[in-house]
Chains A and B, each alone.
Chain A
Amino acid sequence: MIARILAMVMRYLFIYKRSYIRIAELVFFPLMDLLVWGFVTLYLEQVTQSKAVLFMLGGIILWDIFFRAQQAVGMSVLQEMWVGNTLNLFVSPLRSYELIISTAIVGFIRALITISGLGACAYLLYAFNILELGFALVPLFGLLLFFGWTVGLFTAALILRYGEAAESLAWIVPFLIQPFVAVFYPVSALPPLLQVFAQVFPCTHIFEGMRSVLHDGGIPWGSLVSAFLLTLVWISLTGTYLARTLTHVRRKGYLTTAARG
């Protein structure tokens, strides 16, 4: 099992060995976000004397952990379709959970590269130290990874079910929830109905927790526990949906049409 998981991790990492563009892409877009929104917020901070810049920079960096984890898992199926390799994988002894674990490991590595790069830039440009989050950074990072993997699995299931037609979903899904999960502003900024809706996403509690740490330094146990429990619910639901999707695509013969399509 471990040999097959490592083989798939290497399959995805081999690509980075030759492509500086792919490596740069891990940091480029988040860095652009960090520059634009960082300076905008810096200006607002001068005007309003608030902690907005801290919250904004923390939000940008943590959001990218979620995004990278989601992309690594969600895009893996699509990548295999693009290079015509889906069929070979599905007739190999590679089990579905082994493929998922390998993409999750790649997601972890990608997130680690992004957070390191952004963390360093934020420190140099804005004197913002992500390590100020202290011990809370560990559960925040872990929970975001898990929820990112979960949303990635949901995206992968959609791509398996609907084929390359669902390609754009791999990019869109994270941004569908972004406005509601308190990444850059607190839940209290949302209209009352959306505040209730926001509570169902683990992300909301993670970003609220981040703001709480940056505000008073205490570990927001309540937010962390809520995020953890919600992540378990989301993983169960997504796992069930993925299992059903695999049965469905095997019944319909979609695995083979996706590979040739």
Chain B
Amino acid sequence: MTVVTVTNVVKRFGETIAVRGISFSAERGEILGLLGPNGAGKTTTMHMMLGLTSHDEGSVRILDLEMPKDRYQILQRVNFASAYVSLPANLTIDESLYVYGKLYNVKDPKRRAKEVLEELEVDLPGSALVGTLSAGQKTRLNLCKALLNKPAVLFLDEPTASLDPDIAIKVRAILKKLQKNHGTTIIYTSHYMQEVEELCDRTIFLARGSIVATGTPAEIRERSKLKNLEEVFVTIARDGELRDSAEKDDR
């Protein structure tokens, strides 16, 4: 079942075209990697799917609803976490998860907060102020917030960027578990290609606002005749495109 459909979406910021008519979809229970070098348009695309930024052309449909027309119905059933966004620094862990639990209409926010804290192994007193946590702890707490409403679609913007390798492995395991047990669709941006290969069912590489490659990590590797996604990423970052092996042979 398709839960996310992006069709011919264009985004302009003045003279700059950030996203150039891209189309893709994501199925229920799929982990989709949205990849590309800085400025490729992946974060803008994610923000358009979340209704933070409006698109100029095309359509974004999530869970059979139209963004931005049905923004609040969609936002009730999705969630978001980013290494670059924090929960309120002046609230405690318990307070911030309680507030967000209420915002997402979670039935028993205190119990649910306890569950997600255990799930993500956040072994900190609930009375600790968010502002006093390390970057890695804040990132995990943000992930806890993102799981509070058991989202059907989870948007993650570089969620493991500030985590140590041990915690990053655990977070990946949790995401896999979410996918398996709840059929959660995860749309994911990351610069760690090893992680992407391990986690993503399918990847979309963007460069200068256009899709330049799409497929499973194995398919992309095979088509490009490159050793791994790291090399794919570097090639796209330098050339702005990815020629498949047949094209390369012709040349």
Contacts and interface: CB of A to CB of B under 8 A. Distances in A.
B75 A92 contact: yes
A10 B82 contact: no
Given A84-B89, A252-B13, A253-B52, A92 B100 contact: yes
B137 interface: no
Contacts of B50: 91
A7 B52 contact: no
Contact of B103 (A84, A93, A252): A93
Nearest to A84: B86
Nearest to A260: B84
Interface string A1-25: 0011011101100110000000000
A50 interface: no
A253 B47 contact: yes
Contact of B85 (A8, A84, A94, A253): A84
Contact of B52 (A8, A84, A250): A250
The size class of the interface chain B forms with chain A is 35 or more
A87 B54 CA distance: 15
Given A10-B99, A253-B47, A15 B52 contact: no
A83 B88 contact: yes
The size class of the interface chain A forms with chain B is 20 to 34
Interface in B147-206: 155
Contacts of A250: 51-54, 68
A90 interface: yes
Chain A contact residues: over half helix, strand or loop, or mixed?
Answer: helix
A95 B142 CA distance: 21
Contacts of B65: none
A93 B105 contact: yes
B91 A14 contact: yes
A250 B60 CA distance: 15
Given A15-B90, A87-B82, 11 more contacts: A8-B103, A10-B102, A14-B99, A15-B91, A87-B80, A88-B80, A88-B142, A91-B155, A93-B72, A93-B76, A95-B72
Interface of B: 13, 43-44, 47, 50-54, 68, 72, 75-76, 78-80, 82, 84-92, 95, 98-100, 102-105, 131, 142, 145, 155
Interface of A: 3-4, 6-8, 10-11, 14-15, 80, 83-85, 87-88, 90-95, 247, 250-253, 255-256, 259-260
